[in-house]
Structure 1
Amino acid sequence: METILFFIIVGIISTIFGKSKRTQGQSPKKPIKVSGMEDIRTLFKELKNEVSLPAAPIKSEQKVEVLQKSNRTLEQEYNQVRKESESSRKALAASRLQREKMKEQTIEVSKDECEPSISMEPNAQTLVNGIIWAEILGEPRSKKPYFPKRG
Structure 2
Amino acid sequence: METVLFFIIVGIISTLFGKAKRTQGHSLKKPFTANGMEDIRTLFKELANEGAEQIRPKKTEQNKELAQEKMKNIEQEYLQVRQESEASRTGMAAARLQNEKLENQTIKPRQAESEPMISKEPDSNTVINGIIWGEILGEPRSKKPYFARKG
TM norm structure 1: 0.39
Pick 1 or 2: higher relative contact order, CA cutoff 8 A, min separation 6: 2
TM norm structure 2: 0.39
